[in-house]
Amino acid sequence: MADTLFIVFSVLTLACAALVVVNKNAVNAAMFLLLALVGMAGLFVLLEAPLLAFVLILVYAGAVVALFLFIVMLLDTKGTTAKLNKLTVAASGIGGLLLFLGVSLIARRSHLSAPVTGVAMPTFKNYAEQLFTVYLLPVQVVGFLLLISMIGVIVLSKKFKTEEETK
């Protein structure tokens, strides 16, 4: 049962990811990114991390893809049909093939651990315990980083007037 679900979700994720890459229209690409995220959330649930699936849907599908769509529609870029450089195509094909071969060889040859059974599914309490004890400093740093990025975005998108304009 779970195996079928694994195949369904991984095929959904991979097919939508491929469609993000080959789609001419940026809006359609964002929509396929959304579908790929849904498949990814399904894989997270299969890996017994439903909280992460929640967060993925909330943060990525809710905020990031919406932001992408907003910017794509704001900028209204025309889909140009620029010709692809043959060298680039060959290089990316070979690079991608090598990457995939390397990872799959490692995955096949090494003795990876079998799933540890009899472990309770992590709950909110477990996460909170980790976040507020072992990872307390990183949580603070990440919060500060969010503040920095917020200020950065405001500075980037504000139009500063030059001296002559204010006079």
Of residues 119-148, which lie at the interface with other proteins (CB under 8 A)? 119, 122, 126-127, 130-131, 134-135, 138, 142, 145-146
Q: What minimum distance in Å lies between the beta carbon of 165 and other proteins?
A: 16
Could you tell me where the DSSP H helices lie in 23-85? Answer: 26-46, 50-55, 65-75
Q: What minimum distance in Å lies between the beta carbon of 150 and other proteins?
A: 8
- Taking CB under 8 A as the criterion, which residues in 43-62 touch other proteins? 43-44, 46-49, 51-52, 55-56, 59-60
In the chain the first and final C-alpha atoms are separated, in Å, by: 72
Nearer to other proteins, 18 or 161 (CB): 18
# chain residues binding other proteins, by CB under 8 A: 82
Q: What minimum distance in Å lies between the beta carbon of 162 and other proteins?
A: 14
- Taking CB under 8 A as the criterion, which residues in 9-48 touch other proteins? 10, 13-14, 17-18, 20-21, 23, 26, 29-30, 33, 36-37, 40, 43-44, 46-48
C-alpha distances in Å from residue 134, one per residue of 48, 52, 124: 22, 19, 15
14-29 per-residue burial string, b: 16 or more CB within 10 A, e: under 16: eebbebbeebeebeeb
**Distance between CA 44 and CA 9 in Å, rounded?**
10
